[in-house]
Structure 1
Amino acid sequence: MVDYDSYGHVKIVKSPEHTTTVMMAKRISELAGEAHNPNEIRFTSAFPVLYSQDRMWATTLMVDYVSGLFNLDIFGLCIDINGIWAIDWINKRQQKTLGGIQLSKNPNYSWYGNVLMDYALRNANASDWLLIEDNFSDNFRFNGKLGPADTLVISPSGHWVTIDNLMNFDFINILVREARISYSDLNTFLRHWRAGGSYRLAYIRLEFEMDTDFENFDEDLEIVETNEVRKYRVEVEGDDTDYEIQGGYSIQRMDGVKATINYNLRRLLMVVWHADRN
């Protein structure tokens, strides 16, 4: 189940890509041209619509009704800055961790918005995926941890992600767009990974905001060029497809696990060759 608070929808889903609207909440002011009660239900040809002065009340009512009707826990939550209240509400109403959380785009930002998004990131616990689509302000900083979960996507505004953030992300798959990670930071991350950090990581893709010059890797990383062509599979943003990584550089973790690194001025890709995946 996904609660789209911003749009007033409650949806039953098999996956984030396949949804069906079953109920909708709208503000009572949208019932124009007639007298109406503070809370009113109207039926369309497709699904009922609940009109209310208090959309938080209407949303929780709908989610409770649908989850009780089908005897389901809430699986996913898709919200913008106005729906952050739902994180605590869901954490209190069920023991099962959410499967996925999507923090959607916000048109305007203030210091208060930064505070709310910091709170959301610290409390957004999900087992499968965390999709952060927010437009963060230039001065936004986050010093907490994210994960553990399967997939993290930060798009489009990944400029706030620091090297410390990257080393504190506990995910199998990571995609960060508009990153401002420097070349020296990347060496730091590789040193962290080589020593056993980010142990579950199988795939990371950084797409840089500006051209990033790659010089020689630090010698202690013992990175060597390779012309190997290998296939890997990754599920990011609903895409579960086999890909090829051609050539690049090979790096080995202290426990013997290897990874391939491929990069250009605007992108770095690293695939880790775990025995049980990739």
Structure 2
Amino acid sequence: MPFPILRTSFVVLSEIISLLEPNEIVTASFCSKNVERLLKGHFRQRKPSKWRLFMVDYNSNGHVKIVKSIRIPTTVMMAKHISELAGAADKQNELRFLPEFPVIYSEDRLLGTKIIVDYVTDLLNLDIYGLYVDINGTWAIDWINNRQETMLSGIALSNNTNYNWYGDEIMDYELRNARASDWFFISDVSDTFRYNGKLGPADHLVIDPSSHWVTIGNLMNFDFINILIRETRISFSDLNSFLRHWRAGGSHRLAYLNLEFEMDTNFENFDEDLEIVETNEVRKYRVEAEGDDSDYEIQGGYSIQRMDGVKATINCDLRMFLMVVWHA
């Protein structure tokens, strides 16, 4: 016997909707205009504040993903080019329902991606929280900036191609125009890439892998609280320059810097003017990330003091340089 959902009280409906997964909600919204209006009404009264909506434009496919409070991403809708749909050569647009989520096949995949993002954000009453794009997704940065007042929390950028100068040019544009309040994740950048602009301010920066492009000048121009860079080729002499920059008040917000080197790096004596001394202190520090704050311990190493009195501890070996700043 069919369940009369449209004639059920709002309190009961809210409990039913709360049991559904995000992809199930999006799929259900296509049952009828009445169901769509019902769901929209629910999320305008009870916005799922712990849900995070991510837009993905990667490998020529558009996705909308939802991350719930348990931080497990769920694809709720997808856009693909019509050529990927068998027997649809004479069609411009087609909506199909996979067991997991709806897919819109479109002759203009970029337009299809915009459609699914607009549909899901309107249905769930959510702004775009995070963006994952490769170099073909540059358009999304300006599009998001123009469609919502809320700044993105995070951006993941990847040059997953071998376009060389073309990909480098686009990556340069993305870094200069991307704005996010919390985190940046940058991956698969070519060895030929060079960047002379600033990046940030935000809380977290991760560059992994292919960080060969990062120079000491880039590091000085990164405005982040926590920085992790893997496969770096920064030299020991460059690190002395960075520490001199930090002592003079540069990178003022920095609390945690972790450089993992591609090859063994010889750490000799630090420059005398840095006034670095050895220490046996064992101290704990926290790396704060949304929903995943973690405590760590740093044992011994070296102590350095900024001109304003703020101290930091340095630990290093052949493949790692760790600096923790002890802000008040």
* TM-score, normalised by the number of residues in structure 1: 0.94
* 1:115 maps onto 2:169 in alignment: yes
Q: Quick one: structure 1 residues 187 and 237, their matched pair in 2 at CA, closer, same or farther if it must change by over 3 Å?
A: farther
Q: 1:188 aligns with which of 236, 241, 259?
A: 241
Paired residues of 1:260 and 1:271 also in contact (CA < 8 A): yes
Secondary structure of 2:281's aligned partner: strand
Alignment partner, residue 248 of structure 1:
301
Secondary structure of 2:128's aligned partner: coil
* 1:3 maps onto 2:3 in alignment: no
Q: 1:151 aligns with which of 194, 204, 228?
A: 204
Relative contact order, CA 8 A, sep 6+: which one is greater? 1
Q: How many residues align?
A: 274
How far, CA to CA, are the matches of 1:3 and 1:209 in structure 2?
A: 32
Alignment partner, residue 208 of structure 1:
261
Q: 1:72-91 maps to which residues of 2 (within 5 A)?
A: 72-91=126-145
Secondary structure of 1:89's aligned partner: helix
Alignment partner, residue 53 of structure 1:
107
* 1:24 maps onto 2:78 in alignment: yes
* 1:227 maps onto 2:245 in alignment: no
Alignment partner, residue 128 of structure 1:
182
Give the alignment's Cα RMSD to 1 decimal.
1.8
Paired residues of 1:38 and 1:53 also in contact (CA < 8 A): yes
How far, CA to CA, are the matches of 2:105 and 2:142 in structure 1?
A: 24
Paired residues of 2:228 and 2:257 also in contact (CA < 8 A): yes
Larger Rg: 2
Paired residues of 1:98 and 1:126 also in contact (CA < 8 A): yes
Paired residues of 2:255 and 2:324 also in contact (CA < 8 A): yes
How far, CA to CA, are the matches of 1:34 and 1:216 in structure 2?
A: 68
* TM-score, normalised by the number of residues in structure 2: 0.80
Q: Quick one: structure 1 residues 176 and 129, their matched pair in 2 at CA, closer, same or farther if it must change by over 3 Å?
A: same
Alignment partner, residue 40 of structure 1:
94
What residue identity is the alignment partner of 2:225? Answer: I
Paired residues of 1:173 and 1:236 also in contact (CA < 8 A): no
How far, CA to CA, are the matches of 1:38 and 1:105 in structure 2?
A: 29
- Which of the pair is proportionally richer in helix? 2
Q: Deviations over 1:205-242 (max 9, x none)?
A: 01111111111111111100001111111146985321
Alignment partner, residue 96 of structure 1:
150
Q: Structure 1 vs Structure 2: percent identity of aligned residues?
A: 73
Q: Quick one: structure 1 residues 236 and 73, their matched pair in 2 at CA, closer, same or farther if it must change by over 3 Å?
A: closer
- List alignment gaps of at least 5 residues for structure 2: 1-52
How far, CA to CA, are the matches of 2:69 and 2:214 in structure 1?
A: 27
What residue identity is the alignment partner of 1:76? Answer: G
